[in-house]
Chain A
Amino acid sequence: MYTKTILICDDDEGILEMLAIILEGSGYTIIPVQNSLNIYETIEREHPDLLLLDLWMPVLSGDQVLRSLRNNPQTHELPVIVISASRDGQKIAEEAGATEFMSKPFDLDFLLQRIHQYLN
């Protein structure tokens, strides 16, 4: 059976691990990416169904990533949930074209519910 793939991009290892546990437990395939520089190539290769994206990351920030994804016809429609602990995150995320914004720390149930919604 084909399982949906979620790419998680966050520079914090703890978050990656935690999200992997819960999302794998919910039956998704998880691809964690800690260095945002690798994200395009990973997307190219894996074709994820949804992206969980952090905002504040070294070198290449989440909104930069998001903007170039939105400019690319192949990823133009990709559901992207931006998660950030930054106060101004919501505004930045919306302007960059996020499908949804969630501030850290988020509620797992809520996150799962939204993911299910986007993937079905």
Chain B
Amino acid sequence: MNSLQNGAFDLSNETTREDFNLLLKALDASISGIILTDNRLPDNPIIYCNKAFEIITGYDRSEIIGHNCRFLQKEDRDQKERAILRDAIKNGKNCVVDIRNYKKDGTFFYNELFMSPIKDENGKVNYFIGVQNDVSLRKKAEQDLRKQQELMEKRVAERTQSLKENEDYLASIVQTVRESLIVLNPEFKVLSVNDHFLKTFKVTTEDTEGRLLYELGNGQWNIPALKELLESILPTNNPVEEFEVEHDFPYIGKKLMILNAHRIELEGQYKDRILIAIEDITDRREIERRKDDFLSIASHELKTPLTTIKGLVQIMQRMVPPGLDEKFSSVLDKTGVYVDRLNNLIAELLDVSRIQTGNIELHKDLFDFDKAVHEAVETIQVATKSHQIKISGSTNENVSADESHIVQVINNLLSNAIKYAPDHKEIDVYLSRVSNFVKLSVKDRGMGIRVEDHKKIFDRFYRVGDIQQRFPGMGIGLYICDQIIKNHGGTLWVESELGQGSVFSFTLPLNKHAA
């Protein structure tokens, strides 16, 4: 480097050419991209780029000389760095930006761009120099770090906040729940109550807190059932849950309530305090009852015209003159089948409503289980020409159960067996006594049910995936059956594999002492 003398260039001819080449080599050895643009030409085109620029961007210099540098942004033009650059260029200033750029093959990278004007002796900007570095990795690390920090900060803030708010929060929950809460000391003196309690029972804090529960409001809480609960059940360390109490309160009238009571077992200042939560379900019960009534009436009303239709269809069936087209009677038969189906649906609707509200009524009587099963099977067999139902085994037992409901379950299992095994003619019903239970199984050789679905098919409104498409209408029947059997203290379950047929079984307990 002969032209560089004491920090300044000596531009005499002999040295320049050699040194110029040397500098170019130095520029090409840089790992930073370096470009020059000519600001005097329109749109500030690139007039020089080094090797590193080619490597970083993936473009060959021949492809970019004469272009404005913005091509590196591709379509990603909506960045604030762009404006910063424009400003700096306009004002002939330095700037450093991290700008999102794209290589020739479209790969994204973060470009740390240092841009600086080159001015002549009059201060006029003739050129710009740009130095580029691919800082994607650094950028990503920075971003990750920042995210991590933000997350940590957020967590710390949340934690602090939550600790600080915890008490207020708990207090406000207690005040806003739509359930009445009472805290008692071990001697049944009221320590605190929430707003809902005050509102529901139309009392004030003054005439509640610090007084004995049983003495509140002229003894309106002196309810025998509640006393029993607090004095005999709670001390045994058992929480009391879903305890129903009906009580006629002065001022607010008859209320149906659900009580949950807990004794606080923490050591320390809260020990042995009693927490009572009271839910007023008077209105809910009333609504449920009205829904039941509505469905009862609706189903009754629907069944009346259905009875007429069914009768008329049967009359037509009798009137079919001999020798008439087969099709005619087959259409009539089908009409009858669908009328029956509609009738079943209406009945199920009512059943579900009653089950949901826990109003399923069982009229238990002692009856001959085997006989009932044989009769039910016979009825279905008469109406089913497609399948053979075979009964084997016996229980020789009388069971105490609601016969019509049990028959309903048997019918449901049989009609499912028929419906879901259309190509397999045999259905086996097996009766047995197991310990102190009677057991009935219905076995078909139909499509079977995947193990994953064994529990689901007893859900309300569940129908097994594609079976639903091929065999619609299983509907709510099994749900109802399950509930009926459960209400009798038995179980209903299925054993089956896909393609291997299904066995539905239920048990009913034998109660030797009943009736």
Contacts and interface: CB of A to CB of B under 8 A. Distances in A.
A49 to B, nearest CB: 21
For this complex, into which size category does the number of interface residues on chain A fall? 20 to 34
A87 B314 CA distance: 23
B308 A12 contact: yes
B296 A107 contact: no
B79 interface: no
B304 A15 contact: yes
Interface in B296-335: 296, 299-300, 303-312, 314-315, 318
B304 A104 contact: yes
Interface residues of B, number: 21
B350 interface: yes
Contacts of B343: 105
B314 A109 contact: yes
Interface string B263-307: 000000000000000000000000000000000100110011111
Interface in B476-513: none
A18 B312 CA distance: 6
B300 A107 contact: no
Contacts of B310: 105-106, 108
Given A14-B308, A105-B306, A105-B343, A22 B300 contact: no
Contacts of A83: 307
A17 interface: yes
Contacts of A88: 361
A25 B312 CA distance: 13
Most chain B C-beta atoms within 10 Å of own C-beta, residue among A14, A83, A107: A14
* CB-CB nearest 10 A-B residue pairs: A85-B303, A14-B308, A105-B307, A18-B311, A104-B307, A108-B314, A105-B310, A85-B300, A18-B308, A12-B304
A86 B308 CA distance: 15
Contacts, number: 59
Interface string A13-38: 01101110110010000000000000
B296 A108 contact: no
A91 interface: yes
A85 B311 contact: no
B47 interface: no
A14 B313 CA distance: 13
A85 B318 CA distance: 24
A114 B307 CA distance: 18
24 contacts: A12-B304, A12-B308, A14-B305, A14-B307, A14-B308, A15-B307, A15-B308, A18-B307, A18-B308, A18-B311, A18-B315, A22-B311, A22-B318, A25-B318, A85-B299, A85-B300, A86-B296, A86-B300, A104-B303, A104-B307, A105-B307, A107-B314, A108-B314, A108-B315
Contacts of B27: none
Interface in B320-365: 339, 343, 350, 361, 363
B300 A56 contact: yes
Nearest to A10: B304
Given A83-B307, A87-B296, A91-B363, 5 more contacts: A18-B307, A18-B315, A104-B303, A105-B307, A108-B311
Contacts of B304: 12, 14-15, 85, 104
Contact of A85 (B307, B309, B339): B307
Interface in A98-118: 104-109
A19 B299 contact: no
Contacts of A17: 308
Interface centre among B304, B315, B363, by most chain A C-beta atoms within 10 angstroms, is B304
A105 B305 CA distance: 9
Contact of B315 (A14, A21, A85, A87): A21
Contacts of A14: 304-305, 307-308
B195 to A, nearest CB: 43
Contacts of A109: 314
Contacts of B305: 12, 14
Contact of A87 (B306, B307, B350): B350
Contacts of A56: 300
B171 to A, nearest CB: 50
B318 to A, nearest CB: 8
B363 A105 contact: no
Contacts of A85: 299-300, 303-304, 307
A9 to B, nearest CB: 14
A106 B152 CA distance: 73
Contacts of A87: 296, 350
Among B299, B310, B311, B339: residue with most chain A CB under 10 A: B311
A81 B349 CA distance: 27
Contacts of B309: 105
A86 B295 CA distance: 11
B348 to A, nearest CB: 12
Nearest to A21: B315
Q: For A12, A17, A85, A107, which residue has the most chain B Cβ atoms within 10 angstroms?
A: A85
Nearest to A86: B300
